[in-house]
C-alpha cells in the first residue's frame, strides 16, 4: 500500500474504491469554483514554489493544530495525549497531498483518492491506516472551516518564491479554488442521505 | 415576519428557533478561521464600502447563477423555468445578509438566524418562506463550493471603495473568514447524525 516510501499513501492503489462522484459532477463543481485550465497551470507553478518548502509549510499547519486543543484532539489517544507517530505519518501524506493537489490531473484516479481521503477523516476509515486509537471522526464543521487557514497560510510561501506579484496572486487564487474543491468532495461521506 | 420591509426576512423574530450550535462552539469555530476583533472592525468597514453597491454585487452573483443551469435549477419550477418572484424576493434578503454579515454582532440572535438560513437551503424549510415549488434542497456540495465565488467576487467592490490597499486586503480577509464561518454553520442540517 505504500508508494514513494510514504506509509499509508495509496494514490492509484487497487484497494481504493471508486468515488461516488462522477466526472460529470466534478465538472459542475469545477465550474462552480471557476476552475479553469489557467488555474491548472498556476497550480503547477505553485507546486514548484512549494516543493522545497513542504516541511516549513507543515510546521505552520501543525503548529496551528498543536496550539488548539479542539484540533489536536483528533490526533490524540483516549487519554488525551497527542500520538506522535500518528502525527508524523499523516504529516508525510499531507506533504504529498500538497504536491498532488498542484500536479495531478483531476481525473478518475484523483477523484477516487479524494473519496479515500474523505473516508479517512470519517468514522468509516479514520485511524485504520495508522492503527491508532484516536477520535473516530473529524467533525464536518472543522473540515469546512479549515478552508480558511489552509488557504491563507500558503500565501507567504507563494510570495517568497520570487515570482512576479501577478503570478503570486494567480497561484494563490488557483490554490484557494483547489482547496475548496477538495473540501467539497471530502464532505460527501458526512452528508445525510441525498443531501450531498 | 417581515422586517425592514423585506418579505420573509426574520432576523430576531420570535418564530426563529434556537441554533443547535452553542456560543462556546461558535467560539471554537471563530478560532479555527482565525476570526478576531480586528476582523470585526474591517467587516464594519466593508459594510460601509458595500452598502451603496448591493444591487451591483447581486447582479454579479445572480449573473453567475443564471449562467449555470445546475445553479439556477434551485430557483426553478418543476417545468424548469426560473421563478422570477422567488429570485427577486431572495435577492432582497441576500442584500440584507451582506450587511448583517458585516455589521451584526455574532451573538445568540445571529447564531439562531444562521440556523434559519441553513434550514431555508434544505428540505426542512426551502421554498416555504416564498410559497414556491422549486427543488427541495440546495445540495451541500454547492453550498461549500460557493465559498469561492462569494469570496472572490467581492474583491473588486472592496477595491473600488477608495481605501488604502492595506485596508482592502484586510477587509477581504475578514470577508473570506466570515463567509467560511457562515457556510460552516449552514452545513449543520446537511450532516448525518453526529457528524457536524
Ligand atoms: C482543508 C482541510 C483539510 C485538509 C486539506 C486536510 C488534509 C489531509 C490530508 C492530505 C491527509 C492525509 C490523507 C492520506 O491519508 O493520504 C489528512 C489526514 C488527516 N487529517 Fe486532515 N485535512 C483537512 C482538515 C482536517 C482537520 C480540520 C483535522 C482536525 C484536526 C484533520 C485531521 C486529520 C487527521 C487526524 C488525519 C489522519 C486520518 C487517518 O486516520 O487516516 N484534517 N488530512
Ligand atoms: C456561500 C454560499 C451562499 C450564501 C452566502 C447564500 C446566501 C443566501 C441568503 C442570505 C439567503 C436568504 C436568507 C434569508 O431567507 O434571510 C439565501 C437563500 C437562498 N439561496 Fe443561498 N447562499 C449560498 C449558497 C447557495 C447556493 C449554492 C444556491 C444554489 C443555487 C443557493 C440558493 C438559494 C435559494 C434557492 C434561496 C432561497 C431559499 C428559500 O426558499 O428560502 N444558495 N441564500
How far lies B133's CA from each of A163, B62, B73, B125, in Å? Answer: 51, 19, 12, 12
Mean pLDDT by 10 residues, chain A (196 residues): 78 94 98 98 98 98 98 98 98 98 98 98 98 98 98 98 97 99 98 98
Half-sphere exposure of A94 (CA within 13 A, CB side): 18
Q: How is residue A127 written as a grid cell?
A: 485511524
Rounded to 5 degrees, φ, ψ at A25 are -65, -40
Q: What angle do CA B179, B123, B6 make, to 5 degrees?
A: 60
Closest atom of ligand 1 to CA, residue A72: 30
Global pTM value: 0.98
What local confidence, expressed as pLDDT, does residue A3 receive? Answer: 55
Give residue B4's pLDDT: 61
Give the closest residue to B30 by CA, choosing from B180, B194, B191, B186: B180
Find all residues with CB under 8 Å of B31, minimum gap 6, and list them. A68, A70
- Residue pair A143/B122 in contact (Cβ under 8 Å)? The answer is no
Can you tell me whether residue A120 is helix, strand or coil?
helix
Residues of chain B found within 8 Å of residue A67, distances taken between Cβ atoms? none
For position A1, what pLDDT does the model report? 42
Distance CA A37, CA A43 (A): 10
Biggest CA–CA distance in chain B, Å, is 49
ipTM: 0.98
Q: What's the average pLDDT block by block, 10 residues per block, for chain B (196 residues)? A: 78 94 98 98 98 98 98 98 98 98 98 98 98 98 98 98 97 99 98 98
CA distance B136 to A111: 27
Residue B106 · residue B26 · CB < 8 Å: yes
User: In chain A, what percentage of residues exceed pLDDT 90?
Assistant: 97
- Residues in Cβ contact with B53 at an 8 Å cutoff, skipping those fewer than 6 apart: B157, B160
Pocket (CB within 6 angstroms of ligand 1): A 8-9, 65, 71, 74-75, 90, 93-94, 97, 117, 120-121, 126-127, 129-130, 138, 142-143, 146-147, 150, 179, 182-183
* Å from CA of A166 to ligand 2 middle: 33
Domains of chain A: residue spans and CATH: 42-190 (1.10.490.10)
Amino acid at each position: 500500500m505504500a508508494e514513494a516510501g510514504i506509509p499509508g499513501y495509496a494514490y492509484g492503489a487497487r484497494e481504493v474504491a471508486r468515488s461516488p462522484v462522477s466526472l460529470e459532477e466534478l465538472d459542475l463543481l469545477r465550474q462552480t469554483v471557476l476552475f479553469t485550465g489557467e488555474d491548472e497551470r498556476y497550480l503547477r507553478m505553485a507546486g514548484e514554489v512549494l516543493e522545497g518548502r513542504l516541511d516549513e509549510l507543515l510546521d505552520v499547519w501543525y503548529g496551528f493544530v498543536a496550539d488548539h486543543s479542539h484540533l489536536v484532539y483528533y490526533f490524540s489517544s483516549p487519554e488525551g495525549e497527542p500520538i506522535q507517530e500518528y502525527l508524523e505519518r499523516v504529516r508525510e501524506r499531507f506533504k504529498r497531498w500538497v504536491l498532488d493537489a498542484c500536479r495531478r490531473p483531476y481525473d478518475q484516479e484523483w477523484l477516487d483518492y479524494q473519496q479515500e481521503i474523505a473516508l479517512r477523516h470519517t468514522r468509516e476509515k479514520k485511524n485504520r491506516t495508522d492503527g491508532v486509537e484516536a477520535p473516530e471522526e473529524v467533525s464536518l464543521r472543522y473540515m469546512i472551516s479549515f478552508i480558511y487557514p489552509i488557504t491563507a497560510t500558503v500565501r507567504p510561501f507563494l510570495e517568497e518564491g520570487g515570482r512576479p506579484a501577478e503570478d503570486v496572486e494567480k497561484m494563490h487564487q488557483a490554490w484557494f479554488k483547489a482547496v475548496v474543491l477538495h473540501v467539497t468532495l471530502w464532505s460527501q461521506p458526512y452528508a445525510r442521505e441525498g443531501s450531498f
